């Protein structure tokens, strides 16, 4: 864990190193992933059978029941949930759906002063593939965050791929799939599952967009397949930046920091405060709380390797630092968070005030928790309905409209050395009897 003070003579160097540090797993997976993608493309289902046995100790077999989880299993898992837990999932789904329905874009259709009709129409992709991790990262909340925006966008076919080690799957994931109305759940994971969704196999139809979190192999597979399919993003380890003054309860802030540290040893938690004593209190509370967590091994490793406490002279200095970090989650635990937010340009999601822990955004607030990491918030946004839609522009004009703007296009075509472009317009201007 690093301790930095803005008054230190080497602060700029140390902070720059913090900003530039890469926390992705230091493994060269690119070659391995390329081999997996090529094999699935060439061998299809046979490759999936081999990889699933090798990595998940699960036999897919020849029967489709060994490959897919039936809708009835999802409905049964939903019905068997503890009522309070079922209500919690339903509330989360309701709020996620309402927030994303408000994101739906409007079509445009208008005629400009030249008489040219212009516009754009939004339509959903035909099919989306959702990757749902298994093992330690089996999160039903992520399924809701990916599937519900796709449904809101109007996607007709939702196909989930998820590893089922030894054939087992988290019943909460099945219940969430039932709530979201997922069409297909396939018992495959890893880079091979991403390849199956992108290329298609005899059993699995290809999709147009693939979203959802995964390990380094899954992220690399998505990166290599971008262009064959659309993807949401190449996500890295989770991160949180908390900007807090000394009026906060140190235990609250410590818990917020640990909420990200417990995700993965590569996760990062950073506190910026104008109170050095408060920073020490938070550090003490982190030590005490971490020792009591069932996830303490992961949280401790993350905090020790990637955590940071940064002391500034006044909180206005925190915002330029936050913009350089461009963190996935930013909490503004101060009296007037709006004043700080006004200068905050780069963040995946912002949590305003002392009573808004980042964790509430992971589950029930409504905005999507699939967010850009690794400073990608400088140029990327969180998952939305737009990731499952595309915009098609259209143009309509009559002869007077073409006469108004066509000559300029002719000049530009000739200037670019493209005479056929120019001719396609000139012929209509010269011989415009057809409508």
328 noted as active-site residue: yes
- Taking every pair of Cα atoms in the chain, the longest distance, rounded to a whole number of angstroms, is 84
Question: Residues 283, 328, 331, 358: which is the catalytic one?
Answer: 328
Distance CA 125, CA 155 (A): 6
Question: Residues 58, 178, 329, 369: which is the catalytic one?
Answer: 329
Cβ atoms within 10 A of the Cβ of 30, count? 13
Sequential DSSP letters for 68-94: B--HHHHHHHHHHS-HHHHHHHHHHHH
Residue pair 159/197 in contact by the 8 Å Cβ criterion:
yes
Helix (H, G, I), strand (E, B) or coil at 416: coil
Distance CA 297, CA 287 (A): 12
Instruction: Please report the beta strands in 165-217, taking only residues with DSSP state E, as ranges in sequence order.
Output: 184-186, 209-211
Beta bridge partners of 243: 272, 332
Distance CA 331, CA 247 (A): 15
Residue pair 257/359 in contact by the 8 Å Cβ criterion:
no
229: DSSP letter: B
The tokens for 271 are 């506190």
Distance CA 277, CA 273 (A): 10
Distance CA 403, CA 429 (A): 7
The tokens for 137 are 């990262």
329 noted as active-site residue: yes
Please give the C-alpha separations between residue 212 and each of 128, 137, 186, in angstroms, as whole numbers.
11, 12, 15
Helix (H, G, I), strand (E, B) or coil at 151: helix
Measured over the CA atoms of residue 173, residue 179, residue 180 and residue 186, the dihedral's sign is positive
Residue tagged 């990757």 (tokens): 131
Beta bridge partners of 333: 244
Active site residues: 328-329
């Amino acid at each position: 864990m690093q301790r930095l003070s803005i008054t230190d003579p080497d602060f700029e160097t140390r902070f720059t190193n913090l900003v530039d540090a890469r926390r992705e797993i230091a493994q060269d997976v690119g070659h391995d992933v390329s081999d997996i993608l090529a094999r699935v493309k060439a061998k299809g289902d046979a490759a999936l059978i081999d990889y699933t046995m090798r990595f998940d100790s699960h036999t897919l077999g020849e029967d489709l029941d060994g490959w897919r989880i039936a809708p009835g299993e999802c409905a049964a898992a939903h019905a068997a949930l503890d009522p309070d837990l079922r209500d919690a999932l339903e509330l989360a789904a309701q709020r996620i759906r309402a927030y994303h329905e408000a994101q739906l874009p409007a079509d445009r259709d208008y005629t400009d002063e030249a008489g040219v009709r212009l516009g754009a129409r939004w339509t959903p992709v035909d099919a989306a593939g959702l990757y749902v991790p298994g093992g330690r990262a089996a999160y039903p909340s992520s399924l809701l965050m990916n599937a519900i925006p796709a449904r809101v966008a109007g996607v007709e076919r939702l196909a989930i791929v998820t590893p089922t080690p030894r054939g087992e799957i988290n019943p909460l994931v099945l219940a969430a799939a039932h709530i979201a109305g997922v069409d297909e759940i396939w018992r495959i994971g890893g880079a091979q599952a991403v390849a199956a969704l992108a290329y298609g196999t005899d059993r699995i139809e290809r999709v147009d967009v693939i979203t959802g979190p995964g390990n380094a192999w899954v992220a690399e597979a998505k990166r290599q397949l971008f262009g064959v399919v659309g993807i949401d993003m190449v996500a890295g380890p989770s991160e949180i930046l908390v900007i807090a003054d000394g009026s906060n309860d140190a235990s609250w802030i410590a818990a917020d920091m640990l909420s990200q540290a417990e995700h993965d040893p590569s996760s990062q938690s950073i506190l910026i405060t104008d109170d050095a004593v408060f920073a020490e209190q938070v550090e003490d509370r982190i030590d005490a709380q971490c020792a009591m967590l069932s996830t303490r091994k992961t949280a401790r490793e993350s905090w020790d390797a990637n955590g940071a406490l940064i002391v500034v002279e006044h909180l206005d200095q925190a915002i330029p630092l936050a913009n350089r970090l461009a963190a996935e989650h930013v909490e503004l635990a101060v009296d007037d968070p709006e004043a700080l937010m006004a200068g905050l340009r780069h963040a995946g999601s912002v949590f305003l005030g002392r009573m808004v822990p980042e964790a509430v955004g992971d589950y029930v607030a409504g905005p999507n928790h699939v967010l850009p990491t690794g400073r990608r918030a400088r140029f990327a946004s969180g998952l939305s309905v737009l990731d499952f839609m595309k915009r098609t522009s259209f143009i309509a004009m009559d002869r007077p409209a073409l006469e108004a703007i066509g000559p300029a296009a002719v000049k530009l075509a000739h200037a670019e050395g493209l005479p056929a472009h120019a001719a396609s317009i000139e012929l209509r201007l010269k011989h415009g009897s057809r409508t």
